Amino acid sequence: MQTLPGFRDFLPEDCAARNYIFTRWREVARRYGFVEWDGPPLEFTELYKKKSGDEIVHQLFRFQDQKRRDVSMRPELTPSLARVVTSLPHEYKRPLKWFSIGQFFRYEKQQRGRLREHYQLNCDIIGEQSAAADAELVALCVDLLRAFGFSESDFLVRVSNRKAWSDFLASRQIEAHRVADFLDIIDKFERTEVSVVEDRLAAFGLTAQDVITFAQSPFAESRQLAQFLAEIQARNLEEFVLIDPMIVRGLAYYTGFVFEVFDRLKRFRAIAGGGRYDQLISRISDNRIEMPALGFAMGDVVLTEFIKESPRANRRLKSWIKRAQVIDAFVIIAEESKRFHALRFVERLRQSKWRVDFSTGPARVKNQFERAEYVSARYAIIIGAEWPLITIKDLKRREQTQLESTESIRDLKRKLQLWQRNLKSQRARGS
């Protein structure tokens, strides 16, 4: 028996890496005043149809449930968010700053950085029109990556505004309903053969050179983004940001400001991406509530690759995992006749919030010590013939001491601390 292709098991090491990423995501999102929410992993397919563009609908894990409802495993969070926001109780005051961490599913060809499931952080601001909100979102995205140890020399936020392209098309007398088709060409521009691009552009009476010339013009670069850039400069983040009109994002629902984050060496797919979707919520709500909104998502698969290929980020990951996995003590039962005393002692230590393990079955003392090392215990506590006297061994420093188990756990911990301090100063004195 195997996992399905494109699905992962998380063995303890992988799961710790996942927890590290979730912890950092949560920490930084909260630092920006975002609050956490979540939607269900299964929704009516209707919610995703027409809302997210054809590409996604063809990649759904979609089926009929036992009551013949057309349902799909979620490919992304934004449609659920739009659904939730339109029916929110009145006590929720806009702007909402919401984030969510969850798993998403797409049936697509597996390739590097793309599985059929992945975890995503989604951060959204609902009910805020200003370019200041665009900057707040990009600043959050930058700080999320900084929290993993990346700097402006590692990654770049490529920012653009779709409206620059609609203005461009309008100036060429191209009808508004053709904008979406045109943006699809721009979205795929960098990864499509020139001849195909030229063919598709010809239908608009344009050439690849027209597109490139406009993209490099100051008009496309700055007019729509002036306030955004001022906010980014005020925050001292200009080193992280590049205006790049060729970024338009694949999803149909974006309405203006869009951005994607890439590693500077372009080794990976986009690490994160998002933008404004000012019309999506009104399209999903029955009562046509108009609500400006913007958001981005950052996936765990590309991020993990990025971390593992960056020595500094990878060191942070490893040391976090190490700290997360350490347990405080492994209790070694040197005399089976003392097992019940040992059990009660374990219980007392755990009540004091220590992480404690021991061998449930009888085992040789040597094997118990091996186990203590294997589970990364800081101390081995040996309970044997001398009970209630216990021996405590510092497994890193290879030193040991004896204490009275009859004392309160608080006093024991205090004495342990004292002993540690003495050991340290002895070492410092070179003895």
- Nearest distance, CB of residue 218 and its own copies, angstroms: 23
Please state the φ and ψ torsions of residue 360, each to the nearest 5 degrees.
Answer: -65, -40
- Nearest distance, CB of residue 381 and its own copies, angstroms: 13
Nearer to its own copies, 169 or 342 (CB): 342
- Nearest distance, CB of residue 374 and its own copies, angstroms: 6
- List all residues 6 or more positions away from 256 whose beta carbon is below 8 Å from its beta carbon: 161, 162, 163, 224, 275, 276, 278
Nearer to its own copies, 173 or 236 (CB): 236
- Nearest distance, CB of residue 273 and its own copies, angstroms: 21
- Nearest distance, CB of residue 356 and its own copies, angstroms: 7
- Residues 393, 404: Cα–Cα separation, whole Å: 14
- Residues 37, 34: Cα–Cα separation, whole Å: 10
Nearer to its own copies, 213 or 374 (CB): 374
Nearer to its own copies, 18 or 318 (CB): 18
Nearer to its own copies, 355 or 415 (CB): 355
> Residue 33: which region, alpha, beta or left (left: phi > 0; alpha: psi -120 to 50)?
left
Nearer to its own copies, 311 or 361 (CB): 361
Nearer to its own copies, 125 or 169 (CB): 125
- Do 77 and 39 meet the contact criterion of CB atoms below 8 Å apart? yes
Question: What Rg, from alpha-carbon coordinates, does the chain have?
Answer: 28
Helices marked H in 148-296 — which ranges? 162-171, 179-188, 194-202, 208-216, 218-222, 226-234, 280-284
Nearer to its own copies, 192 or 371 (CB): 371
- Residues 156, 73: Cα–Cα separation, whole Å: 32
Beta strand extents in 45-116 (DSSP E only): 62-64, 70-73, 96-105
Q: Which one-letter amino acid corresponds to residue 13?
A: E
- Residues 209, 202: Cα–Cα separation, whole Å: 12
- Do 274 and 294 meet the contact criterion of CB atoms below 8 Å apart? yes
- Nearest distance, CB of residue 291 and its own copies, angstroms: 14
Edge-to-edge strands of the sheet including 327-333?
356-358, 327-333, 377-383, 389-394, 399-404
- Residues 118, 58: Cα–Cα separation, whole Å: 18
- Residues 108, 106: Cα–Cα separation, whole Å: 6
- Nearest distance, CB of residue 20 and its own copies, angstroms: 12
Nearer to its own copies, 371 or 415 (CB): 371
- Nearest distance, CB of residue 178 and its own copies, angstroms: 29
- Nearest distance, CB of residue 27 and its own copies, angstroms: 8
Residue with tokens 């007398």: 173
